[in-house]
């Protein structure tokens, strides 16, 4: 962002490796947070109540750990985002840095037990620079004290799947080659650094299941978004599933593909977190857009299995059912949230359900076994494309659950700003762009995307309180502008300097490049009113939003002498819920971890963080004391305060 625009935005915002001790299994397994999402179904709920609505305002820092990873020598240090959620298993906290260093901590003190550095190449320009965490597996065929009886798995930015010993941090030699499986094989690798893994793999019995993140606006012919399962002991490939059919498949037409498009198109990858229902032998996969995101003229049709919630047989990779939630994606509306596996109450019955949140701010609820909608879904007409060579889907699915963001068109009457001049220029900007509500396709004159491609609900995912039947979501509502640029004009536009705050993407193999930026006035003011970020609670019993509150203040985005205001800020990260009646969340661009009352949405407490908390917290009990832990290292995309901290909060010791 230019210096002048930064000043204007400020005006707006004024409104050492140690030997590991013997591992101790916790007496109460429910006190463990053994998965990235708390449990294998991503409920992000802890049955802990030492910290509750009566005493939550007394939390204080119990310990702080620093990883030492601040991006020295890393080519994309500007993109580093500390998004990890630690897991607690076998008496240790395990987490990863944005550069895939795996660390084990003493959960009572935060003391480092060991660290393993896979030494990813630091000179590559990775399309992403984050790692959301690690996964844990126990080999029941080995004695508990044997090397690698407990394994920690991580996928890396340079496309490796690595297994290390949970007790020592040493690579498990029997897994792949010296503990490493190369994920770049068999996916039509185009560029190292644009095919990577950013989310922890899923575990099902003796399988490690992983997807991939792909820099998917480079062009049409990119890496394939294959989901693969590997043997947790040997690293051997056990099965794979490709969301895009091979060109010779006999069901191309029914899957919404032509032979040439199926052969050329890449991505449709699953980069977020998977959920596992071990009892039903199911793994739930949220997939993203086929490449490239913003022009689909080279991939005509619905592009089935892209932008879909897919249920696979976890043991074999066989498709069980799927639901496409965005047809022929033109908006980068990947399914970014982890599928939520919970039991819900509906018409006097308990239903094993899967809930999928979307970047469009919708909640889709399905029967976990059959894929049938629990809440009705209707196909509604949406705007057509006016770009030569593009054929947008005439309809899109809308669920009967309440939307978490507005789907209405952004109109000149919505223009917002601090001054008459600001509002006037925003009014002109809106008038000059295409804006017909959600799913308005990208255009040559520029289309207002609302919500933008960051959300609705992003990878922060959902939390669930079963007692109240509440689904919790951190919501983003920052409109963007996407403009298609004819191929012959693309290089000139990109080099012109006319759009210093815009991101350009080549979209090679198509007739158009792409330019995108936030919908802001020349003074740096968002053109739509706050809040730009909220925390919402949806009551599934009544199918209503019980409460939705502003999340985040302008602090840390203003000079120290400017009073901060709670306006609801952009966020990255998600909430957790506890039996103490609290929801905990960081995520917003100010440096706080907050506690909210699950009943009312009232903010009860906020704890200051030393850097941006753009991660999802977790909680556990150790030695009779409940801790709430969050990674605080900042987020490159949101330009929040950088750091290398893991911070634990607890009640004062008596």
**592 CB contacts (<8 Å, ≥6 apart)?**
552, 553, 555, 586, 606, 607, 608, 609, 613
CA 501 to mean position of chain CA atoms? 24
CA 215 to mean position of chain CA atoms? 15
Are 389 and 339 contacting, i.e. CB atoms less than 8 angstroms apart?
no
Q: Which residues are catalytic?
A: 332
Are 265 and 290 contacting, i.e. CB atoms less than 8 angstroms apart?
yes
Cross-strand bridge partners of residue 312: 283, 319
Are 606 and 590 contacting, i.e. CB atoms less than 8 angstroms apart?
no
CA 508 to mean position of chain CA atoms? 26
Spatial separation of the C-alpha atoms in residues 614 and 635, rounded to whole Å: 6
Q: What is the 3-state secondary structure (H, E, C) of 57-106?
A: HHCEEEEEEECCCCCCCCCCHHHCECCCCCEEECCEEEEECCCCCEEEEC
Query: What is the side-by-side order of every strand in the sheet holding 308-313?
Result: 275-277, 282-286, 308-313, 319-324
Q: For strand 576-578 and strand 213-214, is the pairing parallel, antiparallel, or unpaired? A: unpaired
Spatial separation of the C-alpha atoms in residues 300 and 106, rounded to whole Å: 53
Helix (H) or strand (E) holding 252: none
Residue 72, class by beta-carbon neighbours within 10 Å (0-12 exposed, 13-18 middle, 19+ buried)?
A: exposed
Query: What is the side-by-side order of every strand in the sheet holding 618-622?
Result: 60-66, 645-650, 625-632, 618-622
Helix (H) or strand (E) holding 263: helix 259-264
Spatial separation of the C-alpha atoms in residues 161 and 153, rounded to whole Å: 7
* Side-chain half-sphere CA neighbours of 637 within 13 A: 19
Spatial separation of the C-alpha atoms in residues 291 and 223, rounded to whole Å: 9
């Amino acid at each position: 962002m230019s210096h002048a625009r930064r000043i204007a935005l400020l005006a707006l915002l004024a409104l050492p490796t140690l030997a590991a001790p013997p591992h101790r299994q916790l007496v109460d397994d429910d006190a463990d947070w053994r998965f990235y999402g708390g449990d294998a179904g991503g409920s992000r709920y802890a049955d802990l109540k030492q910290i509750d609505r009566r005493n939550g305002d007394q939390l204080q820092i119990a310990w702080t750990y620093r990883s030492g990873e601040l991006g020295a020598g890393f080519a994309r240090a500007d993109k580093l985002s500390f998004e990890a959620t630690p897991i607690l298993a076998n008496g240790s906290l395990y987490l990863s840095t944005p550069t895939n260093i795996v660390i084990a901590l003493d959960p009572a003190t935060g003391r480092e037990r060991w660290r393993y550095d896979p030494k990813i190449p630091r000179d590559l320009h990775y399309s992403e620079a984050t790692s959301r965490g690690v996964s844990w597996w126990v080999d029941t065929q080995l004695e508990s004290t044997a090397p690698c009886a407990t394994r920690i798995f991580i996928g890396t930015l340079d496309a490796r799947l690595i297994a290390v010993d949970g007790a020592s941090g040493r690579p498990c030699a029997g897994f792949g080659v010296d503990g490493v499986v190369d994920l770049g094989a068999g996916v039509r690798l185009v560029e190292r650094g644009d095919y990577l893994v950013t989310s922890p793999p899923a575990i099902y019995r003796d399988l490690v299941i992983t997807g991939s993140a792909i820099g998917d606006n480079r062009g049409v012919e990119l890496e394939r978004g294959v989901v693969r399962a590997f043997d947790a002991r040997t690293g051997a490939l056990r099965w794979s599933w490709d969301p895009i059919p091979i060109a010779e498949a006999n069901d191309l037409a029914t899957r919404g593909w032509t032979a040439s498009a199926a052969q050329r198109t890449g991505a449709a990858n699953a980069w977020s977190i998977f959920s596992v229902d071990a009892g039903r032998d199911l793994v739930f996969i949220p997939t993203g857009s086929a490449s490239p995101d913003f022009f689909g003229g080279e991939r005509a049709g619905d592009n089935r299995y892209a932008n879909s919630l897919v249920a696979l047989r976890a043991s074999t990779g066989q498709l069980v059912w799927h639901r496409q939630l965005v047809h022929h994606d033109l908006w980068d509306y990947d399914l970014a949230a982890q599928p939520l596996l919970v039991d819900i109450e509906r018409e006097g019955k308990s239903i094993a359900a899967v809930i999928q949140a979307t970047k469009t701010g919708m909640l889709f609820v399905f029967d976990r076994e059959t894929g049938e909608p629990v809440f009705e879904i209707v196909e509604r007409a949406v705007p057509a494309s006016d770009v030569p060579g593009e054929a947008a889907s005439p309809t899109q699915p809308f669920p009967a659950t309440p939307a978490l963001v507005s789907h209405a068109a952004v109109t000149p009457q919505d223009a917002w700003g601090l001054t008459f001049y600001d509002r006037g220029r925003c009014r002109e900007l809106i008038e000059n762009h295409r804006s017909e509500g959600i799913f308005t396709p990208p255009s040559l004159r520029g289309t207002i995307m609302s919500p933008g491609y960051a959300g609705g609900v992003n990878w922060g995912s959902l939390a669930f309180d079963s007692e109240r039947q509440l689904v919790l979501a951190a919501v983003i509502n920052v409109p963007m502008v996407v403009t298609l640029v004819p191929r012959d004009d693309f290089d000139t536009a990109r080099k012109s300097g006319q759009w210093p705050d815009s991101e350009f993407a080549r979209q090679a193999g198509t007739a158009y490049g792409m330019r995108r930026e936030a919908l802001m006035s020349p003074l740096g003011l968002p053109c739509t009113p706050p809040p730009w970020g909220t925390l919402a609670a949806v009551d599934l019993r009544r199918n209503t939003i019980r409460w939705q509150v502003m999340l985040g203040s302008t602090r840390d985005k203003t000079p120290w002498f400017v009073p901060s205001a709670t306006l609801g800020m952009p966020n990255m990260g998600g909430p957790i819920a506890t039996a103490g009646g609290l929801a905990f969340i960081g995520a917003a661009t100010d440096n706080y971890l907050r506690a909210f009352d699950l009943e009312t949405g009232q903010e009860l407490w906020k704890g200051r963080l030393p850097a941006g908390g753009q991660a999802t917290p977790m909680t556990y009990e150790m030695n009779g004391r409940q801790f709430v832990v969050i990674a605080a290292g900042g987020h490159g995309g949101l330009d929040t305060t950088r750091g290398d901290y893991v911070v634990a909060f607890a009640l004062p010791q008596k």
